[in-house]
A and B are shown apart, each in its own frame.
Chain A
Amino acid sequence: MAQIELVHLSKVYGNDVAAVRDLNLDVAEGEFMVLVGPSGCGKTTALRMVAGLEEISSGEIRIGGKVVNELAPRDRDIAMVFQNYALYPHKSVYENLAFGLRMRKVPKAEQKERVEEIARILGLGEMLHRRPAQLSGGQRQRVAMGRAIVREPKAFLMDEPLSNLDAKLRVQMRAEIARIQQALKVTTVYVTHDQVEAMTMGHRVAVMRDGELQQVDTPQRLYDAPANLFVASFVGSPPMNLFEAVVERDDSRLVCRIGETELELPADVAAERPALANYSGRPVAVGIRPEDVREAAGWDGARLRGRILLVESLGSEQLVHIEIAATPLERSDLIDAAAQPPGPPLGVDDLERAVTLLGRFDRHLLLAPGEAVEVAIDPRLLHFFDLETGVAIPAVDVPVAAEVVS
């Protein structure tokens, strides 16, 4: 078990494709670190550099305090679980599990003991003599895990190990991997593009985009205090509602104007975000999570007026698409492309610039498309971002990203 440090790590393919740029990341001993981001953002590349399968263009990788840049994969004492498992098709399950031990010249008897122990834990005892082709997807996945565990390496590296499983099995294996990691307390770097996986499994989650690290934090903090528009739109499902608003100073109070509606920001909100005052008279991006869009009944604060476009029932609750008058974000390059809310319908009547607001409501509420509604917005739950840079306008006590200083 060991700490893994990535220091100013960069990878350039050929001469121009920068897959990873100046990545600083510190994975503590025994930590479960998840690397997450949209497709092509450089997660796999980063992981493969740690494994030693990809040459490092610049920067440094340390495992257990030791620089491993020049070390071959076999000398780094790490184990890797591949997306498609990479089980040796010509070897039995037993030989697959024992291979790493054999290569490291572990005595035969001990090999047998350890393989059988792992097989028992993972429920593979019956299948030791089968070939990978004779296993189900879930069983193969388990063998791949077992092959990593049995070596008792310093660290586990996993590249989307669950993406080949069906939805149900994925949820099950998710828990299993997290449980195993907790039991063994082995430093783990886990790559996924699925933010649900990231949030449920990681002690901390590192969000990447275009080769750059956006934010590293615990799942909860990532959710509560995203460092920029990208993280805000990437983390959470359904994603955060984002639109433009204008901050104005009215006497001593700060007011946030969304479309025609003015939301007064209570004094404590303003006090928490002193920087917000500098934006008065200028547009900012505001965000609100779907579950923070509330039913207006019994709310005496500001309300947003809108019209229901669509109601999606999820069983336990309903997702409601509400069209409100507000300015959509112009800078779509700052947010996660996949999280962009569906554009407002064509031929909108009286509302000139409309935004679809997504709300989660109790399933007992009777809502129908076309209905006019009012929703309550608690200004305390709003997130504010700079429109130019996309950076969060922070509350005083929230550190942005846990930067590693080399």
Chain B
Amino acid sequence: MPSAEFFAALRSIIGPERCITDPGLLLAYECDGITHLRTTPSAAVLPESREEVQALVRLCATHGVPITGRGAGTCLSGGATASAGGILVVFTRMKRILKVDAANRLVVVEPGVVNARLSETLRPLGLAYMPDPSSQTACTLGGNVGENSGGPHCIKHGATSASVLALEVVLPDGSVVNCGHARGRTAAPDLRGLIVGSEGTLGLVTAITLHLERIPRHELTLLASYRDMRSACEGVSAVIAAGILPSALEALDDRTIAALEASGKPSGYPRDAAAVLLLEFDGEASAVRAEAEAASALLRNAGAITLEEATDSEQRKRLWKGRKGAFGAMGRLAPDLYVMDTVVPRSKLAEVLPQIGRICDQLGLRLANVFHAGEGNLHPNISYDGRNPDEVKRVIEAGHQIVELCLAAGGVLSGEHGIGTEKRDYMPLMFGADSLSAMRDLREVFDPQTLFNPDKLLPTPRICAESGFPGKPRTRP
């Protein structure tokens, strides 16, 4: 626990009302979207300017107090929780949209701006910020940068990194560096790209310049249903292999559809469907039509039992209803939900998904899959009761087996939720000693004191031994 002197200085920087130390109030900051990983911060502070962030960082550096940046705390890898004795710097009050430049299709925002609020602000201008995490009504752009977040519509336009032009970053010594440039390219190696997805370990982002797209003139949504997931996956692979680039390509399995029906908010998807694909195409009408027709033929060929198409916004909304409600419905199945995130090559979906089903069946766990199929980005969702230690143990084991399965299929640890503490100890499964030591070097260059989010992202021998969830340290064969 930091000293009384530290807390006094903290309050003098930020004022008592934006410096939360009351244990009752701190409960709200104990965990992020991974409810299993809990630590109580010694304080949660809510700065309103870059200068305040700099002062906070300098104070923490002097006292050796760890800092974790936090947006809305919806992170699904345990990355937005405080480190032992550390504080949380919560960016939700830095929520100004600083500049909208329609001519150059860019905005400058503070990190606390909520993703969906930016889209609402831009809509009247005919502009859109494309990355749309399913959590977009809550999550912040700073958090999106922290995780390099994706979303259903990232297959065509790319995840967060592809939209980030420049960042203003407070480094662990309190100094500021501006990385990237509004024009897109710089003379330097791409520090901007390094900081995106670095999970708050290299710097705290205090301003973000984002590239915008024009709102597409036409959108067409296709819903294809299948009697089994294997056929649906073959449909996905066929569309991708044909070089068709939809703006979204999502999948739901029978267990998710059943959860939707059980939740009292039925999806409206065909009753005999064991798997559903949602595809969207955007652009000019004739291009959208040509792509949708080509995709429909391939989907039918893979065994689609129904194919529905919608172009007007009400109809499209209806087709998306099940996808949008999926997480909520699964949340109602059991007290806790473990949303996993891994990626496999898109040609391996049909092979890997049934094996994930078997892993969970064998461990007696309730699984449902809803995922970004077009990118091979899986979300095996396991509903469980965190009060049952045996079930928690089985969830951890399933997570481990799924990770190993996906890596063996040529995949990676995470597609969009990041490493955090959840997958930290799996890093040696994917990276050899040289790669890990280079990543450690890189972190030390930015943060020699390891002040920023210290126990996240990279395994250390000490942390491996201490970690509870899910952490079974193993090394790459």
A, B in one complex: no
Interface residues of B (CB under 8 A from A): none
